[in-house]
């Protein structure tokens, strides 16, 4: 089972002078139990696309099926499909509203009718995943925290819903490097533990190359490219067409190759780049030794 997006079209403000076609015939299958990253230039339709995954927006044409069931509709099965997709919006900290951190995180599970015991356990587990110490932060006002800590509280509120699908719209935007790293590690840890399906919008090609199993590149409301990080980032022409760049390590090995270093260029993350550079150096040393 998975999320299937079929012939999806979205038009903002239809039949007005401001009409805007934001998604045009998008067809995708989001693989179950994997991390899928969505990238694309600003305005390419990423946020519009993900807001269709739990029925927040209604398609002009086409449909979104979660485990085979449409997210649009009033039947209990449609509601269940919508509820199985947890959504973290861009800048989710703007939506905090409760008096304490624990109450804010508990809001969703409480709304779903979970028992108090279950709620407390979910709040603790969610705070652990976003690296906020329960005893230190549970009674604090979310509005007295730093921006990065507020982001963690907001994400924990969605994590506490324990949905099989977790959608995040640029979760690390605006965080410092340590905050970004901790948050990404938390998302990956949660994914490994729960085997949930993660769909994440990201502007960082480095993060995508490191963490994603599947990549979707959007351009002008359409899917330009789709595949594994290696498949997608090997198409530098398409990546540039979408207004994006390849991961920084790929650019470095390509620059080395252009300078005459015999290094493999099909590397997209730091670990593989280090290996490729060592191999190139070892080859050069062996070649050099033979000549003396
Ligand atoms: N509420 C809205 N009303 C009208 N037009 C909108 C609305 N939201 C988005 N759009 C337009 O739809 C298109 C797609 O926007 P969307 O927010 O999905 O892009 P995005 O890829 O998420 O961009 P970003 O990287 O800046 O977040 C853009 O042209 C945008 O101006
Ligand atoms: Mg967006």
> Closest ligand 1 atom, CA of 51?
18
Give the long-range contacts of residues 224-227, CB within 8 A, separation 24 or more.
Answer: 224/40, 226/28
CA distance 27 to 193: 29
Nearest to 242 by CA among 6, 8, 38: 38
pLDDT, mean of residues 81-108: 95
By most ligand atoms within 8 Å of CB, the mutation choice from 47, 88, 89 for ligand 1 is 47
CA distance 219 to 116: 45
The pLDDT of residue 262 is above 80? yes
62 ligand 1 Cβ < 6 A: no
The pLDDT of residue 208 is above 90? yes
By most ligand atoms within 8 Å of CB, the mutation choice from 9, 12, 218, 222 for ligand 1 is 12
284 ligand 1 Cβ < 6 A: no
H or E element that contains 187: helix 177-194
> Closest ligand 1 atom, CA of 20?
5
3-state secondary structure of 88: strand
Name which residue sits closest to atom 19 of ligand 1, judged by CA: 43
248 ligand 1 Cβ < 6 A: no
Say if CB 237 and CB 259 are below 8 A apart: no
Please give the residue that has the higher pLDDT: either 34 or 285.
34
Span 41-58, pLDDT tens digits: 999 999 999 999 999 999
Say if CB 183 and CB 153 are below 8 A apart: no
For the full predicted model, state whether its pTM sits above 0.85: yes
CA distance 177 to 159: 22
The pLDDT of residue 34 is above 90? yes
pLDDT exceeding 70 applies to what percent of the chain? Answer: 98
Say if CB 280 and CB 263 are below 8 A apart: yes
The pLDDT of residue 65 is above 80? yes
Please give the residue that has the higher pLDDT: either 261 or 4.
4
Name which residue sits closest to atom 17 of ligand 1, judged by CA: 47
The pLDDT of residue 291 is above 80? no
Under the banding of pLDDT at 50, 70 and 90, the label for residue 21 is very high
Q: In whole angstroms, how far apart are CA 46 and each of 97, 188, 201, 253, 267?
A: 26, 21, 7, 30, 26
The pLDDT of residue 117 is above 90? yes
Would you state the pLDDT for residue 286?
82
- Residue 79: other Cβ atoms inside 10 A: 14
Report the chain's mean pLDDT, rounded to a whole number.
94
> Closest ligand 1 atom, CA of 45?
18
Say if CB 168 and CB 89 are below 8 A apart: no
Beta strands in the chain (DSSP E): 3-12, 20-30, 35-40, 61-66, 69-70, 85-88, 165-169, 197-201, 214-219, 222-227
Under the banding of pLDDT at 50, 70 and 90, the label for residue 283 is confident
Name which residue sits closest to atom 16 of ligand 1, judged by CA: 45
Would you state the pLDDT for residue 50?
98
59 ligand 1 Cβ < 6 A: no
In residues, how long is the chain? 292
> Closest ligand 1 atom, CA of 44?
21
The pLDDT of residue 290 is above 80? no
Under the banding of pLDDT at 50, 70 and 90, the label for residue 289 is low
Would you state the pLDDT for residue 287?
74
Say if CB 127 and CB 137 are below 8 A apart: yes
By most ligand atoms within 8 Å of CB, the mutation choice from 18, 23, 40, 46 for ligand 1 is 46
Would you state the pLDDT for residue 18?
96
Span 132-189, pLDDT tens digits: 999 999 999 999 999 999 999 999 999 999 999 999 999 999 889 998 999 999 999 9
């Amino acid at each position: 089972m998975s999320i299937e997006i079929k012939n999806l079209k979205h038009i903002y403000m239809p039949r007005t002078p401001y009409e805007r076609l934001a998604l045009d015939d998008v067809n995708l299958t989001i693989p179950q139990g994997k991390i899928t990253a969505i990238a694309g230039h600003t305005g390419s339709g990423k946020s519009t696309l993900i807001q269709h995954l739990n029925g927040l927006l209604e398609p002009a044409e086409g449909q979104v099926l979660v485990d085979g069931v449409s997210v649009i509709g009033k039947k209990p099965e449609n509601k269940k499909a919508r509820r199985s997709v947890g959504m973290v919006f861009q800048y989710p900290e703007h939506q905090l509203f409760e008096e304490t951190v624990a109450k804010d995180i508990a809001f969703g599970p409480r709304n779903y009718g979970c028992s108090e015991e279950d709620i407390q356990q979910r709040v603790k587990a969610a705070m652990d995943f976003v690296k906020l110490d329960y005893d230190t932060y549970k009674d604090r006002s979310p509005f007295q925290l730093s921006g990065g800590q507020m982001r963690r509280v907001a994400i924990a509120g969605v994590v506490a819903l324990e949905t099989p699908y977790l959608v995040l719209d640029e979760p690390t935007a605006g965080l410092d490097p340590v905050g970004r790293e901790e948050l990404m590690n938390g998302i990956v840890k949660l994914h490994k533990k729960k085997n949930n399906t993660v769909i994440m919008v990201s502007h960082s090609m480095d993060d995508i190359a490191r963490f994603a199993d599947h990549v979707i590149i959007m351009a002008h409301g359409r899917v330009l490219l789709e595949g594994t990080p290696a498949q997608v980032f090997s198409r530098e022409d398409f990546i540039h067409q979408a207004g994006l760049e390849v991961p920084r390590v790929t650019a470095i090995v390509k620059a080395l190759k252009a300078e005459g270093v015999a290094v493999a260029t099909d590397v997209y993350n730091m670990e593989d780049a280090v290996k490729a550079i060592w191999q190139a150096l070892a080859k050069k040393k062996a070649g050099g030794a033979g000549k003396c």
